Structure 1
Amino acid sequence: MRWDIDWIEKRAQLTPFKSAIIDGDTQKRWSYREINQRAHSLACFFMEQGIKKGDRVALLSPNDISYFDFIFACLKIGAIFVPLNWRLSVHELNQIIEDCTPKLLGYHSRFNDLMNEELASIQVDHQDYEAIFINQELAYAINVDETHPWTIIYTGGTTGKSKGVVLTHANIQWNALNTIVSWNLSADDVTLTYLPMFHTGGLNALTIPILVMGGTVLFSRDFDAENAIHLIEKESCTILLMVPTMYHLISQTTAFEKATFQSVKTFLSGGAPCPLTIYEAFSKKGIAFKEGYGLTEAGPNNFYIDPNEAKKRNGSIGKPMMFNKVKILKTDGSSANVNEVGELLLDGNHVFDHYWNNKEATRQTIIDGWLHTGDLAKFDEEGYFYIVGRKKEMIITGGENVYPLEVEQCIQNHPAVFEVAVVGLAHPKWGEAVTAFISVLPGQSLTLEEIQQFCLSKLGKYKVPKYFNIMRELPKTHVGKIDKKYLQTEYQSIVS
């Protein structure tokens, strides 16, 4: 073991009384000492339940103090934390649970209807849960090193089945260190986390790095643009990450017109390409605004750009951070030159270890030590990088990844459907709108309401197409394939 992985205990020793976590909805506050003690108590409880090193512990909850309890308790005893995406359907959640086989599931009462009754569970917003943190003093000594898995975060897959991204202690800590050094984070930084903490953006982009540095994390459960502005100014937030949809809603409020954001050093946008109108809205107020780039399998932080440079280079994600490597490969396997487009590859200690129970997917993604992102990028004469497209047909809607094939497979299972194509159409609020084009079998009928309800029963709500178009026949290319480019071009107006 090269270092003590229990850094939350070290942070509690260094700055015991500093505010670590604030619940923006209830105004409840926890110091580093209190956060560490809660983690210790929950770790004792886990062990009493028979949870051992390497066992999975899952959590199904909106943003809540229980995320910090669970992840740091797992840190202490070598268990593996699995945050679950509550936007998924029961069917999809059960697939994940069958894959990672957690020994215990924590759940919030908001999601009682998604619960798997066969699992050992505890309700995290119940008095029995809070009772765990009273007089738990069990001693333990678990040998956990930086190569051991700490979390499994499930992400979408082109096969229609989620893949579990295994992040080790080293992966998460190196992302934190890289972010601190490259973005100049300090103990004075305060962030507001609205992104769901089952998502790497909510958990690893700023939350963990700021806690490592000794700053303060403010979280809230349900995004409201007016309240977001209120919390930012009330708690003197300094750096924030939100998705373009959130920024779009914020920029439309009267509160935005009046706000000064004097404490904020930088607003960061991630999860989807950011419309230039949002850049312009923040620029008019003289507020620092920039984009980032990441993915669950790497960080998610990989680039840095100074906000002043971001103003001159709209759409640039910046330059590689201090402790990672980046290259772009063209289709012929050669390295791209200036302004040549190719697939973006990443390398560094922050890159994920493997996909849980999926050696083949791991082999296809990490090749010769490099993570193949599937995203298309280029760089300019001064080394600034730009994402220009996606090698795969992934749709990003409201910051969430949606894979067309998964949605197509779902729709194709309806007995009245003959053919289906799912594409993303540019949308002013969501970034992209999931849109389905369907042809019906001869002699069959299908209503828009019927196919929408069918999808809602099988898919997470954010994956269900926002627009359905039932056509007599889908357009084809000269080789007989469904012409998705034609659909995207000819039908863009339906979402404008």
Structure 2
Amino acid sequence: NLKQGDRVAVIAENSLAHVLLFFACQKAGFILVPLNYRLTPSEVQYIVEDSDPAVLFYGEAFAEYVANAKPTCLPLTKIVQVIENKEPNTSSFQPSPDDAVMILYTSGTTGRPKGAMITHKMLAFNAYNTIMRLDLTTKDISFNAAPFYHTGGWNVLLTPFLLLGATTILLDRFDPVQILELCENEQMSIIWGVPTMMKMLSDHPNFERANLRSVRYAIVGGEPMPI
């Protein structure tokens, strides 16, 4: 019984199901509200009450976060089951460029977290500009370990890669050993993260002997980066 403009909350780690939910919300005209699972259950409850979602999807590890939530709560795996068992719908919602596509909440360091409206136009222009500025190609391969409740999870490379048709490897956490292995085994062309993550890579014993010849460049942001 969802209708266009309804908010769909989700609390889960990075996964293909999370991305499928993102696509489904865009196609149907719903507004995705990713929730920060690193907050306490009471803080998450505040965001749920503030955003007033019609339904809340959750990853298996976060069932306790939604135990007392008022909206209908469904496991995120349900979205995969629905897509697999449902006939494709060729009709789709035609949004205005200024319609909200998701709400990302701030960290709330100086007060309560605040919901930032991300529009279809903002998402699209960010993707187009990133593709042009970083000279992305369909052959590029990267990873995404940034959580989807943060703008970096969507806007740094995921949505540009989805638009372009490049390859992104979804990870639920940053592991320097795994990243170095991916650089060799998957021939990753772009690595990215905050300086702390880059330092974890460079300080790891495997770094000196890792094959990084496929890496074209690294994207670093979020804090000052020592050279």
Structure 2 counterpart of 1:51: 2
Structure 1 counterpart of 2:27: 76
2:141 counterpart of 1:190: yes
Bigger CA radius of gyration: 1
Helix, strand or coil for the counterpart of 1:212?
Answer: helix
Structure 1 counterpart of 2:13: 62
Structure 2 counterpart of 1:94: 45
Structure 2 counterpart of 1:325: none
Specify which structure has the bigger relative contact order, considering alpha-carbon pairs within 8 angstroms and separated by 6 or more residues. Answer: 2
Structure 1 counterpart of 2:73: 121
**Distance in 2 between residues matched to 1:130 and 1:138, nearest whole Å:** 13
Helix, strand or coil for the counterpart of 1:162?
Answer: coil
Q: Residue type matched to 1:272 in 2?
A: E
Helix, strand or coil for the counterpart of 2:18?
Answer: helix
Stretches of 4+ aligned residues off by more than 6 angstroms: none
Larger helix percent: 2
Deviation at 1:92, TM superposition (A): 1.0
TM-score in terms of structure 1 length: 0.44
2:213 counterpart of 1:262: yes
Helix, strand or coil for the counterpart of 2:192?
Answer: strand
Structure 1 counterpart of 2:152: 201
Gaps of 5+ in 1: 1-49, 280-496
Which of residues 87, 91, 94 in structure 2 aligns to 1:137?
Answer: 87
**Distance in 2 between residues matched to 1:159 and 1:242, nearest whole Å:** 24
Gaps of 5+ in 2: none
**Distance in 2 between residues matched to 1:115 and 1:273, nearest whole Å:** 37
Deviation at 1:158, TM superposition (A): 5.5
Note the 1:241-280 alignment, pairs <5 A. 241-274=192-225, 276=226, 279=227
Structure 1 counterpart of 2:102: 151
CA contact (8 A) 1:94 1:116 kept: no
**Distance in 2 between residues matched to 1:87 and 1:270, nearest whole Å:** 21
TM-score in terms of structure 2 length: 0.93
Helix, strand or coil for the counterpart of 1:143?
Answer: coil
**Distance in 2 between residues matched to 1:154 and 1:75, nearest whole Å:** 19
Deviation at 1:232, TM superposition (A): 2.2
Identity percentage over the alignment? 34
Deviation at 1:270, TM superposition (A): 1.5
CA contact (8 A) 1:192 1:232 kept: no
CA contact (8 A) 2:21 2:79 kept: no
Helix, strand or coil for the counterpart of 2:207?
Answer: helix
CA RMSD between the two structures: 1.6
Deviation at 1:159, TM superposition (A): 4.4
**Distance in 1 between residues matched to 2:94 and 2:34, nearest whole Å:** 23
Cα distance per residue 1:434-465 (max 9 Å; x no partner) = xxxxxxxxxxxxxxxxxxxxxxxxxxxxxxxx
Cα distance per residue 1:451-494 (max 9 Å; x no partner) = xxxxxxxxxxxxxxxxxxxxxxxxxxxxxxxxxxxxxxxxxxxx
Helix, strand or coil for the counterpart of 1:122?
Answer: strand
Cα distance per residue 1:49-107 (max 9 Å; x no partner) = x1111110011011111221111111111110111110011111111111111111111
Helix, strand or coil for the counterpart of 2:84?
Answer: coil
Structure 2 counterpart of 1:112: 63
CA contact (8 A) 2:13 2:147 kept: yes
How many residues get paired?
A: 225
CA contact (8 A) 2:144 2:158 kept: yes
**Distance in 2 between residues matched to 1:224 and 1:143, nearest whole Å:** 40
Deviation at 1:254, TM superposition (A): 1.8
CA contact (8 A) 1:77 1:144 kept: no
**Distance in 2 between residues matched to 1:130 and 1:72, nearest whole Å:** 12
